[in-house]
């Protein structure tokens, strides 16, 4: 046995050599990106539950030779001319660990399961008490369609533009589901942009809020919400699921799971299931979702000009969603004779509950005795429904 | 600039229509929620007819009322809880909830004795 030859062979076969072959240097850049994301998640606490998983998936997939995720397998999966078109069997046979976990993303299972957990954690009481705040959730979808239009102007296809636009819904699972169905190649940058901007809401929204509202508007104290009965809370998810799915069947996975989770919470007889949905299920799915979405950030696909465009469009989407909510909030302020604080419109983006907290903080800055949190939770949870409807529309139009 | 598979006119129509569909869906949902809410709140139970009583029930001794805590708008009732502890509990609850104490309403505070 030639020891030197063996050692040389080991070195040549190692991942380290992979950095010096072809475009291997790009993997080094992606590893640096993964480290930045890990820093943001761990040190700055930017949506750490997902961002840490995404960052680690990004790290693993860009280590040459690791073979945990194979982009080429998924290319054949999506290629209509390939014998393995839509063949999960081929993925199971040839794929690595993350390829197998990624099936849950590809089949749209993880985002929907996360929505069961979101539903189980959401109190729709403020929305039921003040149904007008539904409109603020719709208004805050403005950024989705503005960014969609902007993406078309920048040369993205309709499917890609729809996936980019949905970042403005400020709803990670919805963005991932829409992107998986319409433009899977963009999943990595879109998921990273969506979760990063969601974490940055306390920095993105306040300047826009102060720019578009007056001190007098921000200091409006809203009347106490009426008490919502248990029966109303039980009937709500049943009515909403039935109505919205009948209106837009493509929203079924998101709205169906969201409302199912909420029903588990509200019935009062399924505490164990509600507890599992809120904790165990949510955590397990978040774990798989983060690492498998992160794994799609393969250097050759991620380090492109399109990624920069997506990051810019994502910021525009968030900004204009906030603008849409605030403008309709101002309209409601006028129509109500100054009884509605327009700041709660900004909470119409569905990043629950961060956007509502930002409205609360800004309201208290203008008037220290102001207490907007519960009022802002109405538009906030309406935003979840609004972004699901927006996603359903885009999937219906471009997914056909 | 790269070219999209969609022209600007179609994109604009799709964007406006999309936002419109979201508003329409939400408007119909609001209508539905308001109607359901009205139906629920309108169904208030009729006051039960008084049951004729054959025997006069034994008089119920009211539970001993604890002293009211000073500074709680006179509504807070304390059971086996000193004023100082009650004030601390209210301050902790307000701090944990991040809600100003004047926005909260405490009904009663009772010490639970473990058997």
A224 touches chain B (CB under 8 A): no
Q: How many residues does chain B have?
A: 115
Of A183, A162, A135, the residue nearest A347 (C-alpha): A135
Identify from B13, B17, B24, B29 which residue to disrupt to test chain A contact, counting A C-beta atoms within 10 A and taking the largest count.
B29
Size of interface A-B (CB pairs under 8 A): 116
Across the interface, of A135, A144, A157, the residue whose CB is closest to B26 is: A135
Q: Are A215 and A324 in contact (CB under 8 A)?
A: no
Q: Residue A244 and residue B6: Cβ atoms within 8 Å?
A: no
**The 3-state secondary structure of B35-83, one letter per residue:** HHHHHHHHCCCCCCCCCCCCCCCCCCCCCCCCCECCCCCCCCEEECCCH
Contacts of A232 in chain B (CB under 8 A): 36-37, 40
Q: Mind telling me how many Å the CA of A107 is from chain B's nearest CA?
A: 25
- Which pLDDT value is given to residue A19? 86
The band of B70, judged by pLDDT with boundaries at 50, 70 and 90, is very low
What is the rounded distance in angstroms from the CA atom of residue B8 to the CA atom of residue A155? 10
- Which pLDDT value is given to residue B67? 52
Q: Mind telling me how many Å the CA of B48 is from chain A's nearest CA?
A: 20
The band of B72, judged by pLDDT with boundaries at 50, 70 and 90, is very low
Contacts of B103 in chain A (CB under 8 A): 371
Q: Are A340 and A333 in contact (CB under 8 A)?
A: yes
Identify from A128, A389, A391 which residue to disrupt to test chain B contact, counting B C-beta atoms within 10 A and taking the largest count.
A389
Q: How many CA atoms lie within 13 A of B26 on its CB side?
A: 31
Q: Are A186 and B48 in contact (CB under 8 A)?
A: no
Sequence spans of domains, chain B: 7-44, 65-115
Degrees to nearest 5, angle at CA A138 with A133 and A139: 90
Q: Which two tokens stand for residue A41?
A: 């998640």
Kindly give the parts of chain A with pLDDT less than 50: none
Q: Mind telling me how many Å the CA of A309 is from chain B's nearest CA?
A: 12
Q: Which residue of A has its CA nearest to B2?
A: A155
- Which pLDDT value is given to residue B45? 59
Contacts of A131 in chain B (CB under 8 A): 30, 33-34, 37
Q: Residue A128 and residue B29: Cβ atoms within 8 Å?
A: no
Contacts of B2 in chain A (CB under 8 A): 154-156
Q: Which residue of B has its CA nearest to A235?
A: B36
A300 touches chain B (CB under 8 A): no
User: CA Rg, chain A, in Å?
Assistant: 22
| ipTM for this model | 0.83
Across the interface, of B23, B33, B100, the residue whose CB is closest to A138 is: B23
- Which pLDDT value is given to residue A78? 85
Q: What is the pLDDT of residues B10-52, one digit of tens each?
A: 999 999 999 999 999 999 999 999 998 888 877 665 555 555 5
Q: Residue A369 and residue B15: Cβ atoms within 8 Å?
A: no
Q: How far is CA A50 from the centre of its chain?
A: 10
A304 touches chain B (CB under 8 A): no
- Which pLDDT value is given to residue B88? 83
The widest CA-to-CA distance across chain A, in whole angstroms, is: 90
What is the rounded distance in angstroms from the CA atom of residue B110 to the CA atom of residue B63? 13
A389 touches chain B (CB under 8 A): yes
pLDDT at B114 over 70: no
What are A61-64's contacts with CB under 8 Å, separation 24+? Answer: A61/A98, A61/A294, A61/A295, A61/A296, A61/A297, A61/A298, A62/A27, A62/A30, A62/A31, A62/A34, A62/A297, A62/A298, A62/A299, A63/A15, A63/A27, A63/A31, A64/A15, A64/A16, A64/A17, A64/A18, A64/A19, A64/A21, A64/A24, A64/A27
Q: Residue A236 and residue B33: Cβ atoms within 8 Å?
A: yes
- Which residues 74-133 of chain A have a CB within 8 Å of chain B? 127-128, 131-132
Sequence spans of domains, chain A: 120-289+306-398
- Which pLDDT value is given to residue B42? 76
Q: Residue B14 and residue A154: Cβ atoms within 8 Å?
A: no
Place of tokens 């001794």: B61
Residues 6 or more apart whose CB falls under 8 angstroms from that of A89 comprise none
């Amino acid at each position: 046995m030639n020891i030197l030859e063996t050692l040389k062979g080991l070195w040549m076969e190692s991942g380290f050599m992979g950095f010096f072959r072809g475009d291997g240097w790009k993997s080094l850049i992606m590893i640096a990106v993964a480290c930045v994301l890990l820093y943001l998640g761990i040190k700055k606490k930017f949506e750490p539950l997902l961002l840490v998983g995404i960052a680690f998936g990004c790290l693993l997939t860009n280590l040459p030779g690791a073979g945990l995720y194979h982009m080429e397998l998924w290319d054949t999966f999506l290629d209509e001319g390939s014998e393995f078109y839509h063949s999960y069997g081929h993925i199971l046979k040839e794929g690595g660990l993350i390829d197998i976990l990624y099936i849950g993303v590809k089949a749209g299972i993880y985002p929907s399961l996360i929505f069961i957990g979101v539903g189980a954690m959401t109190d729709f009481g403020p929305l039921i008490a003040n149904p007008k705040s539904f409109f603020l959730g719709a208004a805050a979808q403005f950024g989705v369609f503005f960014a969609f239009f902007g993406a078309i102007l920048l040369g993205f296809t309709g499917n890609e533009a729809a996936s980019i636009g949905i970042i403005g819904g400020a709803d990670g699972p919805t963005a991932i589901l829409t992107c998986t169905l319409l433009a899977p190649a963009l999943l990595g940058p879109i998921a990273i942009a969506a979760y990063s901007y969601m974490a940055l809401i306390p920095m993105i929204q306040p300047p826009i809020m102060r720019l578009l509202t007056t001190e007098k508007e921000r200091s409006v104290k809203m009347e106490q919400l009426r008490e919502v009965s248990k029966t109303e809370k039980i009937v709500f998810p049943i009515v909403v699921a039935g109505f919205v799915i009948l209106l837009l069947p493509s929203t079924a996975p998101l709205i169906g799971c969201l409302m199912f989770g909420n029903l588990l919470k509200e019935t009062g007889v399924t505490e164990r299931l509600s507890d599992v949905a809120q904790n165990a299920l949510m955590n397990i799915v978040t774990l798989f979702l983060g690492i498998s979405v992160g794994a799609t950030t393969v250097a050759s696909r991620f380090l492109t000009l399109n990624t920069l465009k997506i990051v810019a469009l994502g910021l525009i989407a968030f900004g204009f969603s906030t603008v849409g909510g605030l403008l309709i909030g101002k309209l409601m302020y006028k129509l109500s004779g100054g009884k509605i604080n327009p700041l709660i419109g900004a909470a119409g983006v569905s990043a629950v509950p961060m956007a509502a907290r930002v409205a609360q903080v800004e309201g208290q800055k203008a008037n220290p005795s102001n207490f907007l949190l519960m009022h802002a939770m109405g538009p906030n949870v309406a935003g979840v429904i609004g972004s699901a409807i927006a996603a359903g529309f885009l999937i219906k139009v471009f997914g056909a | 600039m790269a070219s999209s598979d969609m022209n600007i006119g179609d994109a604009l129509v799709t964007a406006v229509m999309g936002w419109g569909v979201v508003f329409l869906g939400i408007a119909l949902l609001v209508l539905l929620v308001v109607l359901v809410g009205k139906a629920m709140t309108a169904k208030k139970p009729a006051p039960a007819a008084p049951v004729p009583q054959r025997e006069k029930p034994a008089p119920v001794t009211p539970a001993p009322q604890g002293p009211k805590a000073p500074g709680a708008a006179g509504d807070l009732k304390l059971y086996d809880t000193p004023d100082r502890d009650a004030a601390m509990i209210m301050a902790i609850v307000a701090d944990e909830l991040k809600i100003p104490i004047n926005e909260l309403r405490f009904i009663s505070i009772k010490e639970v004795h473990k058997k």
